[in-house]
């Protein structure tokens, strides 16, 4: 399996090169040169497999030849033994044709655990094999940070630096990161928004000269955000899991996905490209609705950021959207590079009417504001007894707005446990859920984090001064 940049430069790369690089040298994102294809008989043969065994079957073609199968299988097995539910991603039925796939039974109670538990092990294996050290650098709008820390903290080969927007994540989310006091873990609260944090991460990857040498070697900067292909790869698995549980591949399934950065739903697009019958992919957003505006009116432009009750989606620009644009440009990296340069200059882009109509055949979208979020949490709980977090509820509500075939199973991706967002639950007029046993004392634990100005040089100096 070889990988190429969406912006067309740098040539084909191996899986391990892409794993360690994160962002391509030309500023693009890595994607497979060709997707592995599963025919219907192959998909049918995967029915009934435990989640870890299904994950190996789906992931192995992306890694083949670079990590021995036995090692890869061991890493996958270890990753999902950390989950609290034996099914790993259980399905709960809400209506005759509507299911919730709960992706919050991992150690940090968010869907990011599916990818980051595995990513940490893949990085540790690869760095150890190469005798290298890495600086893990990521930006988080809420859940990626704690999942990355939990996935990478046990490796002696990595220092971890996570940027989050100061006072713009929930207290629960912040404390999941800042109460990990390992010497290799560093949390930075940036006095800006998530897009500011993400922009600084990208700038650090573009110019890594600020990293000092140690013992004659320079550490490698490694991405844990969903710009890292391995994140997408791991998330593809649960689309296969849900479809197989609901009759796939002999009937198609539709998915409604709360997403700001487009990575989680792009994994569904990849699953479809691999041969999984997917009828619709529905993008659910909050007031920060750049994706919704594109899918409804071919208008992808930056607007001011709003602070909402679903903070993990408080994003102005969706990093992974570039991967879809690459396909819409017929995988022409030069054309995509020009388009992204125009977007950087003007803050807006659109595609041809023909291409937009083509993408609309698969994708639809919905937007939910704060009041509708609270109303929907209450209505769904009163109607079904199911308590959904403020991100998941945008995807449930999207199914009320977007027409789908009622004979097609609709799966909502529940991306976080409601305990992480007590403010939204209480504003909906409900009691905040109790914290799981392993996090019962979270709000009493000692915290450690640094508040820094929205300044790239300040962040670089902090990293330089805190390498172990």
Going by C-beta distance under 8 Å and a sequence separation of 6 or more, which residues neighbour residue 258?
264, 284, 285, 310, 313, 391, 392, 394, 395, 413, 415
Contact indicator for 402, 282 with CB cutoff of 8 Å: yes
Residue in 13, 42, 95, 112 annotated catalytic: 112
Going by C-beta distance under 8 Å and a sequence separation of 6 or more, which residues neighbour residue 463?
135, 137, 161, 186, 204, 210, 211
Decide if 95 is catalytic.
no
Residues in the chain: 468
- Which helix (H) or strand (E) segment holds residue 175: the answer is helix 171-178
DSSP for 211-251, written as a single string: SPPBTTBPPEEEE-STTSHHHHHHHHHHHHHHHHHTTTTSS
Contact indicator for 346, 53 with CB cutoff of 8 Å: no
The CA distance from 286 to 290, in Å, is 10
The three-state (H, E, C) secondary structure of 365-410, written as one string: EEECCHHHHHHHHHHHHHHHCCCCCCCHHHHHHHHHHCCCCCCCCE
For residue 304 the two structure tokens come to 């001011």
β-sheet bridge partners, residue 414: 102
Burial 308-330 (b: 16+ CB within 10 A, else e): bbbbbbbbbbbbbbbbbbbbbbe
Query: What's the Rg (C-alpha) of the chain?
Result: 21
Residues forming the active site: 112
């Amino acid at each position: 399996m070889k990988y190429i940049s969406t912006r067309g430069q740098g040539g084909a790369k191996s899986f391990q090169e892409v794993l360690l690089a994160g962002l391509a040298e030309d500023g693009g994102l890595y994607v497979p040169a060709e997707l592995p294809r599963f025919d219907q008989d192959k998909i049918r043969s995967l029915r009934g497999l435990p989640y870890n065994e299904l994950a190996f079957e789906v992931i192995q073609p992306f890694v083949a030849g670079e990590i021995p199968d036995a090692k890869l299988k061991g890493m996958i097995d270890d990753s999902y033994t950390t989950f609290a539910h034996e099914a790993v991603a259980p399905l709960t039925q809400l209506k005759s044709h509507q299911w919730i796939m709960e992706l919050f039974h991992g150690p940090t109670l968010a869907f990011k655990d599916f990818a980051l538990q595995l990513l940490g092990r893949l990085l540790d294996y690869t760095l150890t094999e190469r005798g290298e050290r890495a600086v893990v650098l990521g930006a988080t709008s809420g859940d990626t940070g704690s999942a990355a820390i939990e996935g990478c903290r046990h490796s002696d080969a990595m220092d971890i630096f996570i940027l989050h927007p100061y006072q713009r994540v929930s207290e629960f989310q912040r404390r999941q990161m800042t109460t990990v006091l390992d010497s290799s873990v560093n949390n930075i609260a940036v006095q800006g928004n998530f897009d500011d944090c993400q922009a600084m991460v990208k700038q650090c990857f573009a110019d890594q000269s600020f990293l000092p040498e140690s013992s004659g070697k320079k550490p490698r900067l490694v991405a844990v955000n969903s710009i890292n292909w391995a994140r997408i790869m791991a998330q593809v698995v649960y689309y296969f899991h849900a479809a197989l549980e609901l009759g796939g591949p002999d009937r198609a399934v539709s998915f409604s996905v709360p997403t700001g950065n487009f990575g989680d739903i792009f994994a569904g697009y990849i699953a479809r490209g691999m041969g999984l019958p997917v009828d619709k992919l529905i993008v659910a957003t909050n007031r920060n609705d750049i994706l919704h505006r594109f899918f409804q009116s071919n208008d992808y432009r930056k607007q001011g950021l709003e602070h909402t009750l679903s903070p993990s989606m408080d994003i102005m620009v969706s990093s992974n959207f570039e991967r879809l644009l690459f396909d819409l440009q017929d995988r022409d990296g030069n054309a995509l590079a020009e388009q992204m340069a125009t977007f950087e200059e003007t803050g807006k882009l659109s595609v041809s009417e023909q291409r937009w109509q083509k993408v609309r055949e698969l994708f639809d979208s919905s937007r939910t504001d704060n009041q509708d979020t609270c109303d929907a949490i209450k209505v769904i709980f009163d109607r079904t007894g199911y308590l959904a977090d403020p991100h998941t509820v945008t995807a449930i509500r999207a199914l009320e707005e977007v027409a789908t075939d009622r004979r097609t199973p609709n799966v909502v991706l529940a991306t976080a446990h409601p305990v992480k967002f007590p403010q939204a639950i209480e504003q909906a007029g409900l009691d905040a859920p109790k914290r799981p046993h392993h996090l019962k004392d979270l709000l009493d634990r000692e915290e450690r984090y640094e508040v820094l100005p929205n300044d790239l040089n300040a962040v670089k100096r902090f990293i330089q001064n805190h390498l172990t």
